[in-house]
Amino acid sequence: MKLLAIIENTIRESIAKKTMIGFFAISNVILIIMLLIALFSDFDINVKLQGLEQFSNGASPLETLVRTMEVMIANLLYMAAIFLSIFATASIMPNTLEKGAIDLLISKPVSRSTILAGKFIGGTLIVFFNVAYYILGMWLIISFRTGYWDGGFLLTVFPITFAFIVLYVFLLFIGVTTRSSALGIILAYGFLIILSPLLAKREVFLYAISSSEAYRGIVDVLYYILPKPDDISSIMNNVILHSEINWMPVWSSAIFAGVLYGFTQYIFNRKDF
Amino acid sequence: MDIFLSFFESKKWPFIVQQWKKDQLRRISRVRIFPASVFPRFRFRYLLHCMPVIVASSLTKIYSPKSRHAVRALDDVSLQVQRGEIFGLLGPNGSGKTTFIKLLLGIAFPTSGSGTVLGKPLGCTEAKARIGYLPENHRYPPYLNGEQILRFFGKLTGLESRLLEERIDEVLKQVGMEQWRKVKFRKYSKGMMQRIGLAQALLNQPEVIFLDEPTDGVDPLGRKEIRELIKHLRDRGTTVFTNSHLLSEVEMISDRVAILHKGKLIREGTVSSLTKAGDQWEITAHGNVDSVRMDLQARNLRFQLDKERIIITVPDLQEANHVSDLLRSRGLLIEGMQQKKHSLEDFFIKVIQDESR
């Protein structure tokens, strides 16, 4: 009951701030455009399929075409959704910790762990529903237009939400320790755009800087310890393409998120407000 | 423990209970009738009722204790607040009043010392369900209306939904916000925000309520209503712990006050004992004041003249009687004779100035 009240309030807060409404509106605009294209374009699926046979690697040309489209859409959505979600949720914890607001929450018979869990679940649910709505809409349009129905694209909602969760835990940590949403956004974007791709392709970029074993060891340790949103996007592609999945980025990112969440909880429990 | 047991099992206890009920009925709202069949529970509750509601033992709070900029916000503060009291905590800005409340509510943690609220350790969730709190500069979600705010905080308090809806109606009526219940909080005036804050603090029918500057931003009429509400709460047995800069208001409602200065508790007592100006008495009379002027000067007494009225300050009750005899013998009419008092504000300023020297 108390946890539900906090989750509900977190969702209301996000709706009131309009950022999530903006996210939802963008999703709708894209879906409408895609629907219009699907309904009125002269796109002839049979003509397009003729040239694809040589690239199909055993799969049917229709499958190859649809999955390639879905991979492209999913990758665009992956970055856009995480960008917007970080922006929309970064202020949840700092707002909660504002003087006069946190005092009231803590004065109620609700534990600090429930408050943090409520904020975490609330933020995650908002992003999950937004992403799920967009993915479902896009899947329906593509499937109706092409006549090829495959559930792989629908599953991309999970890697996208998972990547967001990992970064959201980081935002909660920054929020609890510094009460700054701006710092959280900067660091999360920096990690997502710079650090994560560099570490994922460390053999190409980072190993070239030095041949020192110690240096490379540090880079490797960083890669394995830190979350891997870049690798998770590759997993998402594999889910759509029904390819084999390397689960290491998932569990190592989950361990990072779990440990960081626990540490954030520890700090939050001991903090004076 | 044996003493307690033998006492309660003796035949004297019903009479003691009767006396206790008479004494507490005025102050305690939820006086429970304890039949003999629940005797052990009664005994436990009776003991609970006798215990102070708030106990602070050597509470000390140092912010950033390991840094060069450590701030000793509270220094070895010990005090007790009894059930059904209105207790006013006074002090200049930065004296540690809000920190003290935060420690009691578990919002901040003491560096040393301990305490209890409603017999539970500081910050205990179980006790918080029986506490109301109106913080200074509270920030309610601006996107919610008054009713939604109360519903949200009611749920956090653990109120069951049907009871919660009933309580929302009751407290909105109590604070005069019924017609504004559907209006968004961001559209409220300062006074209305304060009223909703108060309603939120009253929602769970708390046994003890902490009010940090309850009349802040409220107009004089609203302040009077809040004062009456606080007194009503006290009459129902709620313990009220209040912080306020408005000393005249604290003086009007508080049973006891304490003064904090630079984190230290420097005075504590009933309002009347703190504002009493020694044994001095003040006599007001009117008539031919010139006829007594010489006698009063001879007795080395201070007096003020205002046309045909004279106000004389005398050092003690005996002297007051002599002077009143003198006044009557000279044909002056005595309008009043009362023990002289300072206002709480005068007392507060004097104490703070003395401590600052």
Residues B79 and B101 both lie in one domain: yes
Chain-chain contact of A99 with B105 (C-beta, under 8 angstroms):
no
Inter-residue contact B310 to B286 (CB < 8 Å): yes
pLDDT of res. A270: 93
**CB–CB contact B108 A109 (8 Å):** no
Q: Which of B225, B256, B272 is the last residue of a domain?
A: B272
Contact B133 A100 (CB under 8 A): no
Q: Is the residue at A209 inside a domain?
A: yes
Query: Is A45 domain-assigned?
Result: no
Q: What is the mean pLDDT of residues A237-254?
A: 91
The verdict on B251 and B294 lying in the same domain is: no
Q: How far apart are CA A224 and CA A188, in angstroms?
A: 18
Q: Of B220, B241, B272, which residue constitutes the final position of a domain?
A: B272
Whether residue A165 contacts residue A257, with contact meaning beta carbons closer than 8 Å, is answered with yes
Q: Is A186 helix (H, G, I), strand (E, B) or coil?
A: helix
Q: A50 pLDDT band (50/70/90 cuts)?
A: low
CATH code at position B283 = 3.30.70.3100
Q: Name B70's Cβ contacts closer than 8 Å, sequence gap at least 6.
A: B62, B63, B64
Q: For residue A51, is it within any domain?
A: no
Q: Is B111 on the interface with A (CB under 8 A)?
A: no
Using DSSP bridges, classify how beta strands B276-286 and B309-314 pair: parallel, antiparallel or unpaired.
Answer: antiparallel
Chain B residue closest in CA terms to A118: B156
Q: Is residue B357 part of a domain?
A: no
Tell whether the model's pLDDT for residue B259 goes beyond 80: yes
d(CA B128, CA B105) in angstroms, rounded, equals: 7
Confirm whether A48 is domain-assigned.
no
Cβ separation of A107 and B108 shorter than 8 Å?
Answer: no
Question: Choosing among A2, A11, A98, A107, which should be mutated to test the B contact, i.e. which has the most B CBs within 10 A?
Answer: A107
Domain that holds residue A143: 2-38+60-270
Looking at residue B50, its pLDDT comes to 65
* Amino acid, single-letter form, for residue B339: Q
- Whether residue A43 has pLDDT greater than 70: no
Task: Give how many domains chain A has, as a whole number.
Answer: 1
The answer to the question of residue A235 being in a domain is yes
What is the arithmetic mean of pLDDT over A81-107? 92
CB contact under 8 A, B133 and A104: yes
Is residue B322 assigned to a domain? yes
Residue A124 lies in a domain: yes
Token pair for residue A172?
A: 């909660």
Q: Which residues of B touch A179 (CB under 8 A)?
A: none
Under an 8 A CB cutoff, do B144 and A2 touch? no
Q: Using pLDDT thresholds of 50, 70 and 90, give the confidence band for residue B56.
A: very high
Q: Do B109 and A100 touch (CB under 8 A)?
A: no
User: Is residue A90 a part of any domain in this protein?
Assistant: yes
Both tokens assigned to B93: 């800005």
When scoring A18, A95, A104 by the number of chain B Cβ atoms within 10 A, the one with the most, hence best to mutate, is A104
pLDDT over 70 (residue B285) = yes
Which residue of chain B is at minimal alpha-carbon distance from A92? B141
Confidence of residue B29 (pLDDT cuts 50, 70, 90): very low
Residues of A in contact with B105 (CB under 8 A): 103, 106-107
Q: How far apart are CA A63 and CA A148, in angstroms?
A: 7
B9 and B110 share a domain? no
Q: What percent of chain B has pLDDT over 90?
A: 46
Q: Are residues B252 and B301 in the same domain?
A: no
Do B208 and B260 share a structural domain? yes
Which residues are CB-contacts of A261 (< 8 A; sequence separation ≥ 6)? Answer: A120, A169, A172, A173
> Measured between CB atoms, which of B106, B138, B155 is closest to A104?
B138
CB contact under 8 A, A103 and B133: yes
Q: What are phi and psi of B84, to 5 degrees?
A: 80, 10
Indicate whether B223 belongs to any domain: yes
A94 domain residue, yes or no? yes
Residue B322 CA, distance from chain mean position: 39
Give the SS3 label for residue B177: coil
Tens digit of pLDDT for each residue in B5-17? 555 555 555 555 5
How distant is the alpha carbon of residue B130 from its chain centre?
18
Count of structural domains within chain B = 3
Residues facing B131 on adjacent strands: B208
Report the residue from B108, B128, B140 with minimal CB separation from A273: B108
Task: Indicate whether B33 and B146 sit together in one domain.
Answer: no
* Domain co-membership, B115 together with B203: yes
- Give the phi and the psi of residue A168 in degrees, each rounded to 5: -70, -40
**B213/chain A closest Cα distance in angstroms:** 13
* Beta carbon pairs, A and B, within 8 Å: 82
B338 falls within a domain: yes
pLDDT for the residue B45 = 52
Q: What is the pLDDT of residue A41?
A: 74
pLDDT at A66: 85
Q: What is the mean pLDDT of residues A200-219?
A: 86
In a domain, B105, yes or no: yes
The boundaries of the domain holding residue B208 are 54-272
Q: How many CA atoms lie less than 13 Å away from B95 in the CB half-sphere?
A: 20
Beta bridge partners of B121: B116
* Residue B354 counted as domain residue: no
Is residue B250 in some structural domain? yes
Segment B201-231, tens digit of pLDDT: 999 999 999 999 888 878 888 888 888 989 9
Q: From the list A103, A108, A272, which residue is nearest B156 (CB)?
A: A108
DSSP letter at B180 equals G
| In-domain check, residue B76 | yes
Task: Indicate if B266 and B285 belong to the same structural domain.
Answer: no
> Measured between alpha carbons, how far is A126 from A9 in angstroms, rounded to an integer?
12
Q: Using the predicted structure, report yes or no on whether residue B31 has a pLDDT greater than 50.
A: no
Average pLDDT of A141-150?
86
- B174 and B203 together in one domain: yes
Contacts of B136 in chain A (CB under 8 A): 100
Q: So what's the pLDDT on residue A136?
A: 94
Statement: residue A207 has pLDDT above 70 = yes
